[in-house]
């Protein structure tokens, strides 16, 4: 059985590989295979998978990619992720990707969808809209039709329509994958020293390049190995990390938080891996099932409208309670309107609930971790002081 | 984003001449008085956004329409927005986010005093017409938290593939029928009457016809109008709380008559310093203006003989010049189409086509982009827009940066330098073309 170190080493290798070799190899292994990229925060990967394609998660270039061309496309006051994504495209690192989906998250990604159409005319590019109305007969119907368009387009791209049974099979596979991600999150919340945040993150990132079947296997192996190993427990406080749903914090940032004395017991990183919070029924109309799951059982985040003022921000309070966290860390990408405009509202909610928090900004290529480490360290100390009194 | 509601400071004799300006000033003053008197008169107030502004529908429920973006512009023009933005930052807002939102929040925190010096009313309802900008959602979530009032979401899908599909229209009409209208009925206590809506829509179309005529006079040489700095005044009534009213019809009648008169006399645009001199450069401008230094910015153009013949900003509250008019024969569908078609709800390739088309149709010398730090909706992608339009038209383009209402981001020297080199570039291009000929 592989150890956690073996699995993490493999996940790290995938993470470091800016050429997406694993996805390229998957594609080359059988003729006719296609790859469809997607950006944060959510696309129904089931539909891509059902067309025999690999859904490839694209979340910018991180802190190792040298951005040479990307800066020529963006002003200094726009976040990093679109420019490094352009860099990935222009530098040929995505030349094996036949399709790109740009989910409805903010104006930057929205406009990037049009840029992609112009810059990569041979690629199937689609802005993937989701409803902000959650009634079955209004937002639901709209969404079912949007999903049907995507299904039809991907069927055409493959050269053969996607069948209901193919969709049901994919739903089953992703249900299992999501179940394991949740299990991993629950395990970490229970014993964060056994599943450090950086490892959990790397594991989820592996799911952005691997076929779901392989990724599910990896999650299962990691959980088994992590349960079997005894790792030293530190006197850290427990925090929920939020705001990190789009542009990625550097891996070092996640590591720094734990080194500074904060165990991350929940976060909104890579939300697509657990966006749907309940199992999607396998029987019945698969498109309807996916749509209803989106409407009634999906995560809360800044890009999604919360119709009920009383509910606004409660997901965070619930996450704190569920995981026994003692505080919240707001880490938001610089220039990110969704995260930064949501932040004051969420902070008010936390304040009312008596939950302490701190906040800072980052960029995917931030190098200096010292200030963040100091801030997180002081936060951890103050929490300990609090709980001691 | 959007429209302005004060009249330009022109010489006294000009004001006497321009019935449209007098009319607009009266309309705006009366509107602000209506708003600030609402607590006394008992009128109910609906806050909403300029893009996707459903004024005709709002009027069907006797609600007064309050547009926070217009208030932010007013604060910018009156040089108060800087303090408001700082106030918002003091109470926890990031320096990175849209300054319209911060100007509004800061204004609230400092007593919510409107342009007429009186307190603005608390809204009875926030109509979150969600089109063309993601920030709108956060903005009204922030206001909802403060006012604790009812909020209605009307979600407009984005034209990602450059087309309006039947699914989009159906989704929007359903939201209007089953969410927006019933809620507005409940909040206002007024029953919805579709014939009343039709009447307003008919009036909208009339005013829209004349607005388009006015804007298209800029195809002439010299252009009798400036379609950006001046255009901002022209869109005031129709992008604000007057679309669908007799007042708006009258305003655009006056305006058209005045502009046609200038055209017949071969005159150029009126500027804050009186008539503009000889037209030397014809530009198309993309992006919102700067409001904290509006006159100074404009002067940099007219001093050089540069006139803006078309702009995208004057399309944020509705794109009318490609044929769309509010259509009383299909009242709800037409509202949906209107929301779907606003400039920032169009995908990037559509925006590029529009700007290219303007350069050709209005015989412009090139494209100038004023990139707004605050505004991801406009700004993300503008550098590609610039290069594409340059490529397609063969005309030079230039890029300046400022902010809507945050004075910290207006660097007069930088912008002036850029503009001067841009005008030189145009000269060189012309000389090159002459030589080649
Ligand atoms: S980081 Fe924020 S602003 Fe940038 S693309 Fe993502 S959601 Fe949009
Ligand atoms: S981001 Fe731009 S469009 Fe949106 S509210 Fe701010 S200024 Fe207006």
State pLDDT tens for residues A347-360: 999 999 999 999 99
Q: What is the pLDDT of residue B12?
A: 41
Of A73, A114, A342, which has the smallest distance from its Cβ to B349's Cβ? A114
Pocket of ligand 1 (CB under 6 A): A 79, 81-82, 105-106, 108-109, 246-247, 333, 336-339
The closest residue, in CA terms, to atom 1 on ligand 2 is B375
State the average pLDDT over residues B251-261.
97
pLDDT band at A14 (very low <50, low <70, confident <90, very high): very high
Under 8 Å between Cβ of A329 and A376: yes
First to last CA, chain B: 43
pLDDT band at A385 (very low <50, low <70, confident <90, very high): confident
State the average pLDDT over residues B99-104.
97
Q: Do A111 and B158 touch (CB under 8 A)?
A: no
Is B313 a residue whose pLDDT tops 80?
Answer: yes
Say if the ipTM goes beyond 0.95: yes
Cβ–Cβ pairs < 8 A, chains A and B: 169
State the average pLDDT over residues A125-130.
98
Residue B255 Cα to ligand 1 middle (Å): 42
Is A176 a residue whose pLDDT tops 80?
Answer: yes
Report the predicted TM-score, pTM, of the whole model to 2 decimal places: 0.96
Task: Return the ligand number nearest the Cα of B50.
Answer: 2
Residue pLDDT, tens place only, B163-200: 999 999 999 999 999 999 999 999 999 999 999 999 99
Q: What is the pLDDT of residue B18?
A: 83
Q: What is the pLDDT of residue A387?
A: 74
Residue B21 Cα to ligand 1 middle (Å): 42
Residue of A nearest to B176 (CA): A138
Q: What is the pLDDT of residue B401?
A: 97
3-state helix, strand, coil split of chain A in percent (to 5) is 50, 10, 35
Of A112, A332, A345, which has the smallest distance from its Cβ to B142's Cβ? A345
Is B317 a residue whose pLDDT tops 50?
Answer: yes
Minimal C-alpha gap between A373 and chain B (Å): 21
Percentage of residues of chain B with pLDDT beyond 90: 94
Q: What is the pLDDT of residue B103?
A: 97
Is B384 a residue whose pLDDT tops 70?
Answer: yes
Residue pLDDT, tens place only, B52-62: 999 999 999 99
Pocket of ligand 2 (CB under 6 A): B 1, 98, 100, 133, 135-136, 344, 374-378, 404
Residue of A nearest to B97 (CA): A337
Is A378 a residue whose pLDDT tops 70?
Answer: yes
Residue pLDDT, tens place only, B390-429: 999 999 999 999 999 999 999 999 999 999 999 999 999 9
State the average pLDDT over residues A159-181.
98
Q: Do A111 and B98 touch (CB under 8 A)?
A: no
CB of B142 less than 8 A from some CB of A: yes
Percentage of residues of chain A with pLDDT beyond 70: 99
Of B376, B377, B401, B404, which to mutate for an interface test with A (greatest number of A Cβ within 10 Å)?
Answer: B376
Residues of chain A in contact with residue B134, where contact means CB-CB under 8 angstroms, are 105-107, 110, 303, 337-338
Q: What is the pLDDT of residue B8?
A: 40
Q: Do B133 and A107 touch (CB under 8 A)?
A: yes
Q: Do A117 and B348 touch (CB under 8 A)?
A: yes
CB of B102 less than 8 A from some CB of A: no
pLDDT band at B436 (very low <50, low <70, confident <90, very high): confident
Is A389 a residue whose pLDDT tops 70?
Answer: no
Helices (runs of H) and strands (runs of E) counted in chain A: 14, 8
Distance CA B241, CA B200 (A): 12
Q: What is the pLDDT of residue B353?
A: 98
Which value, to the nearest 10 degrees, does the dihedral of the CA atoms of residues B309, B211, B273, B69 take?
-100
Residue B407 Cα to ligand 1 middle (Å): 25
pLDDT band at B437 (very low <50, low <70, confident <90, very high): confident
Neighbours of A10 (CB within 10 A): 18
Q: What is the pLDDT of residue B115?
A: 93
Helix A107-119 × helix B382-393 angle, to 10°: 30
Residue A245 Cα to ligand 1 middle (Å): 9
Helix H or strand E segment including A184: helix A164-190
CB of B143 less than 8 A from some CB of A: no
Residue pLDDT, tens place only, A261-306: 999 999 999 999 999 999 999 999 999 999 999 999 999 999 999 9
Q: What is the pLDDT of residue B17?
A: 58
Of A111, A126, A334, which has the smallest distance from its Cβ to B380's Cβ? A111
Minimal C-alpha gap between B157 and chain A (Å): 7
β-bridge partners, A35: A54
Percentage of residues of chain B with pLDDT beyond 70: 96
Minimal C-alpha gap between B138 and chain A (Å): 6
């Amino acid at each position: 059985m592989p150890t956690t170190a073996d699995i993490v080493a493999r996940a790290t290798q995938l993470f470091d590989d800016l050429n997406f070799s694993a996805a390229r190899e998957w594609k080359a292994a059988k003729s006719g295979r296609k790859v469809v990229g997607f950006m944060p925060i959510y696309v129904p990967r089931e539909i891509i998978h059902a067309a025999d394609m690999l859904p490839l998660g694209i979340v910018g270039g991180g802190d190792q990619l040298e951005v040479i061309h990307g800066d020529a496309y963006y002003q200094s006051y726009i976040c990093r992720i679109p420019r490094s994504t352009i860099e990935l495209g222009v530098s040929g690192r995505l030349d094996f990707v036949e399709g790109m989906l740009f989910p409805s998250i903010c104006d930057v990604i929205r406009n990037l969808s049009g840029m992609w159409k112009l810059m990569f005319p041979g690629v199937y590019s689609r802005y993937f809209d989701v409803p902000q109305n959650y009634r079955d007969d209004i937002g639901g119907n709209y969404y079912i039709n949007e999903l049907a368009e995507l299904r039809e387009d991907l069927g055409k791209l493959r050269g053969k329509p996607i069948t209901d049974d193919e969709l049901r099979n994919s739903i089953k596979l992703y249900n299992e994958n999501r179940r394991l991600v949740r299990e991993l999150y629950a395990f970490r919340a229970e014993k964060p020293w056994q599943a450090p945040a950086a490892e959990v993150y790397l594991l989820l990132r592996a799911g952005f390049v691997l076929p779901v079947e392989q990724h599910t296997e990896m999650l299962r192996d990691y959980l088994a190995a992590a349960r079997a190993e005894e790792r030293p427990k530190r006197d850290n406080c427990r925090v929920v990390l939020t705001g990190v749903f789009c542009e990625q914090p550097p891996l070092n940032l996640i590591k720094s938080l734990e080194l500074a004395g904060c165990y991350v017991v929940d976060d909104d990183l890579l939300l697509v891996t657990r966006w749907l919070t309940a199992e999607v029924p396998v029987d019945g109309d698969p498109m309807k099932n996916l749509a209803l799951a989106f409407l009634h059982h999906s995560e809360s985040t800044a890009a999604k409208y919360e119709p009920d003022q009383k509910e606004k921000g409660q997901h965070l309070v619930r996450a704190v309670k569920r995981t026994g966290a003692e505080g919240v860390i707001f880490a938001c990408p610089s220039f990110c309107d969704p995260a930064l405009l949501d932040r004051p509202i969420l902070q008010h909610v936390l304040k009312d609930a008596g939950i302490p928090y701190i906040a800072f900004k980052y960029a995917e290529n931030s190098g200096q971790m010292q200030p963040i480490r100091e801030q997180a360290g002081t936060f951890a100390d103050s929490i300990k002081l609090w709980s001691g009194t | 984003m959007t429209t302005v509601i004060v009249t330009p400071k022109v010489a006294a004799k000009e004001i006497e001449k321009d019935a449209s300006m007098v009319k607009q000033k009266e309309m705006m003053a009366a509107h602000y008085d209506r708003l600030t008197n609402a607590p006394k008169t008992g009128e109910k107030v609906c806050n909403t956004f300029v893009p996707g502004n459903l004024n005709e529908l709002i009027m069907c429920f006797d609600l007064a329409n309050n547009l926070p973006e217009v208030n932010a512009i007013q604060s910018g023009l009156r040089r108060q927005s800087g303090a408001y933005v700082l106030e918002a930052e003091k109470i926890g807002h990031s320096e990175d986010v849209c300054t319209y939102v911060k100007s509004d929040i800061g204004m609230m925190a400092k007593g919510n005093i409107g342009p007429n010096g009186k307190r603005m009313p608390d809204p009875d309802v926030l109509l979150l017409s969600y089109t063309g900008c993601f920030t709108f959602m956060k903005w009204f979530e922030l206001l909802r938290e403060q006012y604790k009032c009812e909020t209605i979401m009307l979600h407009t899908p984005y034209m990602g593939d450059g087309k309006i599909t039947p699914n989009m229209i159906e989704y929007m009409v359903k939201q209007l029928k089953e969410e927006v209208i019933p809620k507005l009925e409940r909040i206002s206590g007024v029953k919805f009457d579709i014939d009343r809506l039709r009447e307003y829509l008919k009036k909208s179309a009339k005013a829209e016809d004349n607005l388009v005529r006015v804007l298209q006079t800029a195809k002439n040489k010299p252009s009798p109008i400036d379609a950006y700095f001046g255009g901002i005044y022209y869109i005031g009534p129709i992008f604000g709380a007057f679309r669908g009213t007799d007042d708006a019809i009258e305003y655009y009648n006056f305006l058209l008559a005045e502009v046609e008169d200038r055209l017949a006399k071969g005159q150029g645009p009126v500027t804050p310093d009186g008539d503009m001199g000889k037209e030397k450069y014809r530009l198309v401008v993309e992006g919102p203006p700067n409001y904290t230094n509006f006159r100074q910015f404009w002067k940099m153009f007219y001093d050089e003989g540069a006139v803006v013949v078309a702009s995208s900003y004057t399309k944020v509250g509705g794109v009318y010049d490609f044929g769309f008019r509010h259509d009383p024969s299909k009242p709800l569908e037409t509202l949906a189409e209107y929301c779907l078609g606003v400039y920032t709800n169009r995908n990037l390739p559509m925006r590029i086509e529009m700007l290219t088309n303007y350069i050709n149709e209005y015989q412009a010398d090139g494209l100038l982009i004023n990139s707004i730090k605050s505004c991801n909706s406009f700004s993300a992608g503008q550098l590609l827009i610039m290069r594409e339009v340059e490529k397609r038209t063969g005309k030079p383009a230039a890029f300046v940066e400022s902010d809507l209402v945050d004075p910290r981001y207006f660097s007069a020297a930088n912008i002036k330098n850029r503009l001067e080199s841009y005008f030189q570039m145009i000269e060189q291009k012309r000389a090159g073309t002459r030589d080649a000929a």
